[in-house]
Amino acid sequence: MEAIRKQASKFREQVAKQQQAVLKQFGGGGYGGSDNVITDEAELQQHQKLEKLYISTRAGKHFQRDIVRGVEGFIVTGSKQVEIGTKLSEDCRKYGVENTCTSGNTLSKAALNYGRARAQIEKERGNLLKALGTQVAEPLRAMVMGAPLEDARHLAQRYERMRQEAEAQAIEVSKRQAKMREATGNADNTLKLEAAEAKLHDLKSNMAILGKEAAAAMAAVEAQQQRLTLQRLIATVESERAYHQRVLQILELLETEMISERQRIEAPPSPPVENNTPPPPSYEEVNGVFASQTHNGSSDSISYFLGEVMHSYQAESDVELNLSIGDFVVVRKVSNNGWAEGECKGKAGWFPFGYVEKRERVLASKMAEVF
């Protein structure tokens, strides 16, 4: 009979061990531990909450690390781009200062302007990289490596170890209860069972307290992770947006300068007026009509006609006439030396004849502007 009892006790121990292994294999998972029947509903919910927090904070930590790695890579490649752009800026400036062409210095000006703009762009890029390092990478790296996260994780791990110990102690209590049923009235078994139950009670009480502390710490870390990571992402967007806006302003100004210079050199040349062109003939007003005199004995044509101004002209003396493109002039006299005398907008004077073209017909509204 004694042999049968020993064999039965051994068999129960084997079953208990197998049960424990099955519970650990098919239990709650996550950061460890299992959800078995020894825990009450409140403790089970606490365990599940802590498990979710552990998973969430772990994912948040990995995401922060990803951002830090991305920003650090961006800084490395961006620094190389700054180096290359700065070298290009210096090369453009050097060409603009040291080189001119017989056809003009348009390219030299463009090189200087581009070199100046490129230097400004690289300066802005350097400021962006500095901002990403100090405002994004450093705060996230500090949290990843910081004490609050590690302390909360340690609390969660301590809670898990205590939970596993409580599970083992619950199995021990079950074994003691089985022995009590087999050997009723055995005082030694009773004492051992009471000690095992007391230890299990203490473990469960301490586990509940530690679980609340760990959950509170993990929840605080999770909230901080969410808040800080979002803030740093917004800071990244704001820094890059400001950088691109400033670069766009620099490029727009540069484009305006270059297009203006190109239009200047591609515009049709103004009618040449030789440097040795004599000054316009003198004239005087007689009875309200301008009568022109010949200049150096040159003969002048006297037929009147209308001319449209094709190139503006700025008078250089009191006897000359200001002209604007699109004006109409009554041409009253054309001198052999390239000057013409006429009237426009109620004023009379001399102007280079090559600046106007003869017109056969003029709208009445335009005629009104002549006089």
CB neighbour burial string for 26-52, b if at least 16 within 10 angstroms, e if fewer: eebebbbbbbbebbeeebeebbebbbe
Domains located in the chain, CATH noted: 44-266 (1.20.1270.60), 305-358 (2.30.30.40)
How confident is residue 60, by pLDDT bands cut at 50, 70 and 90?
Answer: very high
- Per-residue pLDDT at 198 exceeds 80: yes
- Per-residue pLDDT at 171 exceeds 60: yes
Question: CA angle at residue 24 from 18 to 29, to 5 degrees?
Answer: 160
Q: What is the pLDDT of residue 83?
A: 96
Q: What is the pLDDT of residue 136?
A: 96
Angle between helices 187-266 and 41-98 (to 10 degrees): 20
264 compared with 133, residue with greater pLDDT:
133
239 compared with 32, residue with greater pLDDT:
239
Q: What is the pLDDT of residue 74?
A: 95
CA nearest neighbour of 321 among 298, 297, 355, 293: 355
Q: What is the pLDDT of residue 90?
A: 95
- Per-residue pLDDT at 232 exceeds 90: yes
Which of the listed ranges 30-34, 277-281, 366-370 does the model predict with the highest average pLDDT? Answer: 277-281
CA nearest neighbour of 354 among 292, 294, 267, 273: 273
Alpha-carbon gap, residue 149 to 250, rounded angstroms: 44
CA nearest neighbour of 335 among 277, 294, 303, 286: 294
Question: CA angle at residue 64 from 62 to 65, to 5 degrees?
Answer: 65
Question: CA angle at residue 40 from 34 to 42, to 5 degrees?
Answer: 95
- Per-residue pLDDT at 182 exceeds 50: yes
Q: Which backbone phi and psi does 306 adopt, to 5 degrees?
A: -95, 140
Q: Cα dihedral angle (220, 226, 229, 234), rounded to 10 degrees? A: -130
- Per-residue pLDDT at 220 exceeds 70: yes
- Per-residue pLDDT at 277 exceeds 80: no
CA nearest neighbour of 31 among 7, 9, 48, 6: 48
Q: What is the pLDDT of residue 300?
A: 44
- Per-residue pLDDT at 114 exceeds 50: yes
CA nearest neighbour of 218 among 145, 155, 159, 142: 155
Q: Which of 54-68, 250-264, 299-313 has the lowest mean pLDDT?
A: 299-313
Alpha-carbon gap, residue 132 to 234, rounded angstroms: 11
Q: What is the pLDDT of residue 242?
A: 96
Contact 133, 76 (CB under 8 A): no
* Digit-coded pLDDT (tens) for 313-335: 888 888 898 898 888 898 988 88
- Per-residue pLDDT at 178 exceeds 50: yes
- Per-residue pLDDT at 115 exceeds 50: yes
Q: What is the pLDDT of residue 15?
A: 52
Which of the listed ranges 57-66, 274-283, 295-304 does the model predict with the highest average pLDDT? Answer: 57-66
| Coil/strand/helix, residue 284 | strand
Q: What is the pLDDT of residue 13?
A: 61
Find the mean pLDDT for residues 26-41: 48
* Digit-coded pLDDT (tens) for 127-166: 999 999 999 999 999 999 988 888 888 888 888 888 888 8
- Per-residue pLDDT at 11 exceeds 70: no
Handedness of CA 87, 93, 99, 100 (dihedral sign): positive
